[in-house]
Amino acid sequence: MIKKPISIQKIKKLLKVIFLISSLVFLLLIASIASILILDRYFAVSITFEQSINMVIVSFICLMFPVIHRAQARWFWFTRHNIQAVPEWMSVQTPALPQVSTSLGQRVLLYFLDLIAIILLIAIFLPFHTQAWIYQSISAIAPSSRLYILCLVMLCLCIFLLLNGLLFLIFKLLKQPDLETSLARQLLENWLYSYVFTFTICIFICCFSGLLNLRYLATF
């Protein structure tokens, strides 16, 4: 059986991913070391390396939450309305969402929901003892790394289904026949479902980084 040669585009995509991951790891290390030095020098606060790693990762995720949310909203809208099959990752550039007129109160509410998600992520995952508690609680059920990740996936899936069920009930209660097919309602649903998806993914990333941090870095 003759193997197909690897295309130039796939090689470029792989190099982009490697460069992106390497840059993020380098910046993570620099930011972690800088946070240790700054807190110790100017605030007389001593933290460990794993605490600084956790602080930098959670802070970065919180800063990127609005960006990830909007990118996910564009992706959901693109895959729902423009194509039949989901394309490969990083293979297409999604266009901007359609523009509709919204009131000031609606825009404030949407920005407020983003702020609530960021505050929740900071409050739950920024304190290192919370990460340790989550790690110990799941490790008591699943001692191995594979079982831990499986339990973590199941936990995030439950959160995702619970929040989606809540959105479904809200839309059912607010159901209006004349707005069922309106562009504004479709964009609102797309925005909220992408919000739930992004929030769940951020929870998983924070918990997974806590696993790597506590299982491997904290043992040194």
- The answer to whether residues 111 and 170 belong to one domain is yes
pLDDT at 12: 76
pLDDT at 180: 47
- The answer to whether residues 73 and 29 belong to one domain is no
- The answer to whether residues 193 and 138 belong to one domain is yes
What CA–CA distances, in Å, run from 213 to 83, 102, 210? 40, 43, 5
C-alpha count within 13 angstroms, C-beta hemisphere, residue 76: 19
With a CB cutoff of 8 Å and minimum separation 6, the contacts of 185 are 179
| φ, ψ dihedrals at 64, nearest 5° | -85, -5
What CA–CA distances, in Å, run from 100 to 107, 137, 140, 151, 194? 12, 46, 50, 41, 18
- Point out the residues of the chain with pLDDT beneath 70: 1-7, 83-91, 173-181, 218-220
pLDDT at 125: 92
pLDDT at 87: 64
Question: For residue 23, what are the domain limits?
Answer: 1-46
pLDDT at 104: 81
The counts of H helices and E strands in the chain are: 6, 0
pLDDT at 3: 52
C-alpha count within 13 angstroms, C-beta hemisphere, residue 44: 0
Tell me how many domains the chain contains.
2
- The answer to whether residues 16 and 68 belong to one domain is no
pLDDT tens track for 3-47:
555 667 777 777 877 888 788 878 888 888 888 888 888 888 888
- The answer to whether residues 12 and 60 belong to one domain is no
- The answer to whether residues 35 and 70 belong to one domain is no
pLDDT at 188: 85
Gap between the terminal Cα atoms of the chain? 47
- The answer to whether residues 8 and 75 belong to one domain is no
With a CB cutoff of 8 Å and minimum separation 6, the contacts of 218 are 50
Three-class SS of residue 148? helix
- The answer to whether residues 145 and 196 belong to one domain is yes
C-alpha count within 13 angstroms, C-beta hemisphere, residue 7: 3
pLDDT at 182: 80
- The answer to whether residues 39 and 54 belong to one domain is no
